[in-house]
Structure 1
Amino acid sequence: MQELADLNLSSLHLETANPYVTLIGKGRKIRNVPLMEKTVKHLAIYLKEFHREANEGPLLYSLLDGKPHSLSTDSNSLVLKAAANNARKTCSDVPGNVHCHLIRKTKAMDLYKNGVPLPFIMQLLGHESMSTTSGFYAFATLEMMSDAMKKATPSLKNEDKLWKKDEIKKSLFSLD
């Protein structure tokens, strides 16, 4: 949540071939994270409404004495909870206790389940150690294991069963 609170307009790089955001993580470590096309479109609408003059300042803000001030992590959490509650009215799949880390972990698991290599996920999350990434995000689900087993098993739909072939039977019966 702190990474979100620390974002400024200059953190966004939307006019490049591969749009990205620059995040400042723990220990003031800087990393660039690519943005999806859909996210860039949402940001363009937000910027047009809330940052018409494109002056440097906090990306997410409240006005205090007529000047923009960064939203606190608590305020960002409240905004996220309100958005989740609103979304739940039309989509019952939205979980009850939505928080920033839930979104982070869900996205990391989606990437992992879709075959994104762990080093990429590690970089996106800003982890220094592969063990942190693999320990928290890279565990096989039953669905993943089942899919792997299906892929590893050859299809024998229209073929004779191997164990019925004479040379295989001979080999099997000769085992001691």
Structure 2
Amino acid sequence: MDWFNSEKYKLSNCSRRYFDFENAELRLSKNSFDKYEEINKKLIGLVGDIDVRKINDETIIHLKKRLNEPTIISGEKRARSPARRNHFLVVLKNVLNFLKEVEGMQNIHSLSKIKKFKEEKKPVEVLTDEEIKVLLNSIGENCITKLRLKTLIICLLSTASRITAMLSLNKEDIDWEGGIVSVRGKGGKINQLIFDELSREYLKKYLAMRKDNCPALFATTNGTRLQVNCAERAIRNQGKRAGIKNRVYCHIFRKTSSSKMFFSGVPLPVISRYLSHSDLATTQRYYLRGANFEEVKQYHRTLDYSSLVNRK
């Protein structure tokens, strides 16, 4: 076999071409891109830098067995979650699909045979109005880092935005009159965010306190763009300081706002459009909390058949 041809078909080189393609097409956010690249390195560590034309049912079975083995996570030896294991299968499937559909490579393993691990459906985590009140009121406004954190949380609640999209914005992107901002989101799609009056009020207050020349909407005290990991850490720590029982993280504000809209009577298609989902099922499964019994009792009143009965 020609050496150059054999190198071309190695999983490492095929995946590199796939990631270059995704990067050029802007179909992945930077956060997703970095995560997929990290998983791909571990994937090659599990199955080896094999010739992609030799991937078959046995390869997939071997990979799944390796994924089921305990691994070191945050310094502890434990099993990967089904969702984490599925990330490996998704990356492999995406690479093979790229080779088949974009490069026209023949003899690629059937994608339909790469079955995901079954994931247990978890209840959607949201914050109550009282928890949001406690969280926001636990943050002072007397220094730039505290005001930045409070403003960021208010903006995430108002826009139901992903943290990556929010931190990609620049100051000049904000429409101070209408509050509508276009941003490139997950999958390279252009999404519209709506900043309400409260979020614009706090943005003005936060920007007025800043002394740097950084164009980013949210910046560090060193004048550089605020990064996702820093924002996540600050929000997580503030949740603990505020004594919030539920885990507080960036994405919970997106889930909280979508559930609040739904239980306020906003139709599901409207919420799905606001979240920039292409599938209503995604909105319903991952972003809407279940109803509690008090709400069931409240809406049970709509089942009134008394007017249909001729009492005798």
TM-score clears 0.5? yes
Corresponding residue number in structure 2 for 1:49: 209
The alpha carbon displacement at 1:149 in A equals 1.1
**Aligned 1:128-139 pairs, distance under 5 A:** 128-138=278-288
8 A contact 1:20–1:32 mirrored in 2 = yes
Structure 1 or 2: more strand by fraction: 1
For 1:5, what is the secondary structure of its paired residue?
A: helix
Report % sequence identity: 24
The alpha carbon displacement at 1:150 in A equals 1.3
- What is the aligned counterpart of 1:40 among 169, 184, 200? 200
Matched residues in 1 for 2:306 and 2:172: separation? 54
- What is the aligned counterpart of 2:303 among 129, 136, 152? 152
CA deviation profile, 1:30-87 (whole Å, cap 9, x unmatched): 11122222111111111211268xx6711111255xxx3212110111222243344x
Corresponding residue number in structure 2 for 1:99: 249
For 2:220, what is the secondary structure of its paired residue?
A: strand
8 A contact 2:262–2:288 mirrored in 1 = yes
Alignment of 1:62 with 2:220, yes or no, is: yes
Matched residues in 1 for 2:266 and 2:230: separation? 33
Letter in 1 for 2:166: L
Aligned length in residues: 148
Unmatched runs of 5 consecutive residues or more in structure 2: 1-162
For 1:74, what is the secondary structure of its paired residue?
A: helix
Matched residues in 1 for 2:300 and 2:225: separation? 49
8 A contact 2:214–2:225 mirrored in 1 = no
CA deviation profile, 1:113-137 (whole Å, cap 9, x unmatched): 0011112211221211112112223
Matched residues in 2 for 1:6 and 1:150: separation? 46
Matched residues in 1 for 2:260 and 2:249: separation? 17
Instruction: Give the TM-score normalised by structure 1.
Output: 0.71
Structure 1 or 2: more helix by fraction: 2
Unmatched runs of 5 consecutive residues or more in structure 1: 157-161, 167-176
Corresponding residue number in structure 1 for 2:267: 117
Corresponding residue number in structure 2 for 1:169: none
Matched residues in 1 for 2:237 and 2:224: separation? 20
Name the CA shift for 1:51/1:132 in 2 (closer, same or farther; >3 Å). Answer: farther
Corresponding residue number in structure 1 for 2:232: 77
Q: CA RMSD in A?
A: 2.6
Matched residues in 1 for 2:206 and 2:182: separation? 18
8 A contact 1:58–1:70 mirrored in 2 = yes
Matched residues in 1 for 2:305 and 2:297: separation? 14
Matched residues in 2 for 1:155 and 1:23: separation? 51
Instruction: Give the TM-score normalised by structure 2.
Output: 0.42
Alignment of 1:12 with 2:174, yes or no, is: yes
Alignment of 1:127 with 2:287, yes or no, is: no
Matched residues in 2 for 1:150 and 1:96: separation? 31
8 A contact 2:214–2:224 mirrored in 1 = no
